[in-house]
Structure 1
Amino acid sequence: MWDFNKLIYKGESFLMLEATPFLEFFGIHTAFVRDNFEIFYFVYIVLIFLFLFGIGKRFTVLLLFISVEVVQNLAWLTLNGGDNILKFAVLYFIFIDSYSKYSIKPFKHKNEFSKQLTNLLSNLAGYSLCIHFSLVYFLSALHKINADVWFNGVATYYVLGSERFQGTPWNQLLVKNGIFVTITTYGTVLLELLFPFLVWNKRLKFICILSAASLHLGIAIFMMLYDFQILFLLLLGFFITNNEWKHVIEIVNNKYGNVKVRLLNLALKK
């Protein structure tokens, strides 16, 4: 958005920009933030990097959440569904314990009670994020069912055939294929409708996750909608437990570990 700061955030355009309730509640005038937006944006970017490296822990995430809220309020006309769940994901990260391992200076608990309380809050926040994600899918499916193009199985035809979403040279060929259009249209609705219920089943979970990942990769490739899809792909990881992640890593190491050693030895020889 950087090239459009003056138009979107500073108010130097034809858009009717309103006051930000979040700022006004704390006695900060929205106009003041707009006039000094470059300074605010710099602080916002610094907070993102501090959060990335686990510096400041939960206090940093709280400040980042406030910043995301302000940024989104300043440019609400540019938002999409991904921005909405992004804001809540940051909110959940205030409670999710991602600082015991993934920080420059890992957090160490003072006692067993502190560890158990942190673990409880982290699990609750993680489940909340998963449930929120599932609700987004389910409500999206309900809205699609009530839309004629989705109900009649032709939504993919209108979406991929649109000039706005010409992500690949094959879009026009795919929309002429009736089987492809029907399967992708009803398949999307079916996935969003069943995902919230089937993803909790151990046997079906990875099928649901892979299907959802395929959907979002397809949207990114064929429709050129990237930020929304990247966010959803990352959030799918929350449905995988720590033990399951460890198991996946072990499989990868066992399968490709020897390849790494060979490449390292080859590099050292050179």
Structure 2
Amino acid sequence: MIDKLLQENRFSFYAPFFRVFICIYLLKDIIIMWQFNDIIYKGNSFAYPNLSPFLETFNINTHLVRENFNVFYSIYILLILLFLLGIGKRITVFFLFICIEITQNLAWITLNGGDNILKFAILYFIFIDSYSKYSITPLKYKSEYSRQIGNLLSNLGGYSLCFHFCLVYLVSALHKINADVWFNGVATYYILGSERFRGTPWNVALVKNGFFVTLTTYGAVIIELFFPFLVWNKRFKFLLLIAAALLHLGIAIFMMLYDFQILFILILGFFITNKEWTIIHQKISHNLYSLKTFFIKESSIKF
């Protein structure tokens, strides 16, 4: 197994795409939060920093960051752009992780579960080689031995992200099982019926349907409980990936939790191998080409 991990970067197809997504995601957050910088991040903020063990270990002074926030933010944006272009490679990702850790600690009151796993995804990208595509230059190895070590680190980083995702699902499922509303199959009734999560005009009608409430409540628990164990099985993998994607898509539509769910859906791509992604890409390209050819023929006939 170790020999297989040494020979090939198993995430070389999908990791570059996810790297670009992370950068766009972070830049989007900066744009959205820009008007709130004074009250969230800067010296007159109402939110007191909740220091993490990481920041305490490196003795990073968040008060100093608040007082010089514009300088810090400029460095943060520069690191995102460098990561987007693939400049600096692992060193850039390391400093970007530190900046995100600082930013999240300054604005801890605004965070959700998606922000938490995003931070860890960037931590894993210190090891994942995502520079084979969408990068100014690929990551170069001086020898075959260094290339194999690079593959090993990249694979361990990618699988760590997958295992972390599975752990999130498993812990969530175990907590749900021990909660009365989930155990009794009525959690969806209280969630979708809440004014806070009323994402569509159909929410009120749907929570009155007992079959829908029971199915969605137990369905969410079953997906989260069995996903960590069965997603590694080729028979069940794509069935579970589709089910998980639909679960998060439903949460995004009916509960208006968009960022959180988009991030989780895209992390599912790490469970698909390079070979499987290549086949999917070829099929999509073939279908798009066939569709293009069809429209060209149709327009030629009409002309």
- TM > 0.5: yes
Pair 50,131 (structure 1): closer, same or farther in 2 beyond 3 Å:
same
> Which consecutive unaligned segments of at least 5 residues does structure 2 have?
1-32
Mapped pair 1:246 → 2:269: no
Amino acid at match of 1:38: N
Q: Which residue of 1 aligns with 2:86?
A: 54
8 Å CA contact retained: 2:83, 2:89: yes
Q: Is structure 2 residue 228 aligned with structure 1 residue 200?
A: no
Instruction: Please tell me whether the aligned partners of residues 20 and 30 of structure 1 are also in contact (alpha carbons under 8 angstroms).
Output: no
Indicate the larger mover: 161-170 or 34-43: 34-43
Determine whether 1:109 maps to 2:141: yes
Q: How many residues in Structure 1 have an aligned counterpart in Structure 2?
A: 268
The structural deviation recorded for 1:228 is: 1.0
* Structure 1 moving runs of 4+ over 6 Å: 262-266
Which runs of 5 or more structure 1 residues have no equivalent in the other structure? none
1:209 partnered with 2:241:
yes
User: Do the aligned partners of residues 235 and 79 (structure 1) sit closer, same or farther apart at CA in structure 2, a change above 3 Å counting?
Assistant: same
Partner of 2:3: none
Decide which of 176, 187, 212 is 1:155's aligned counterpart: 187
Specify the SS of the correspondent of 2:275.
helix
Q: Secondary structure at the match of 1:108?
A: coil
Q: State whether residues 11 and 17 of structure 1, in contact with CA within 8 Å, keep that contact through their aligned partners in structure 2.
A: no
TM-superposition CA deviations, 1:23-50 (whole Å, max 9, x none): 5544543221112222212221221121
Change (3 A) 1:18 1:122: closer
The Cα shift of 1:108 comes to: 3.1
Post-superposition CA distance 1:61-99 (Å, at most 9, x none): 111111111111112222222111111100100111111
Tell me the alpha carbon deviations over residues 98-143 of structure 1, each in whole angstroms, 9 at most, x when there is no partner: 1123312222333221221111111111111111100100000000
**Alignment CA distance shift 1:19-1:246 (3 Å):** closer
1:167 aligns with 2:199: yes
2:259 equivalent among 206, 227, 231? 227
Equivalent residue, structure 2, for 1:2: 34
Please say if 1:138 is aligned against 2:170: yes
CA distance in 1, matches of 2:84, 2:293: 30
Equivalent-residue separation in structure 1 for 2:179 and 2:156 (angstroms): 35
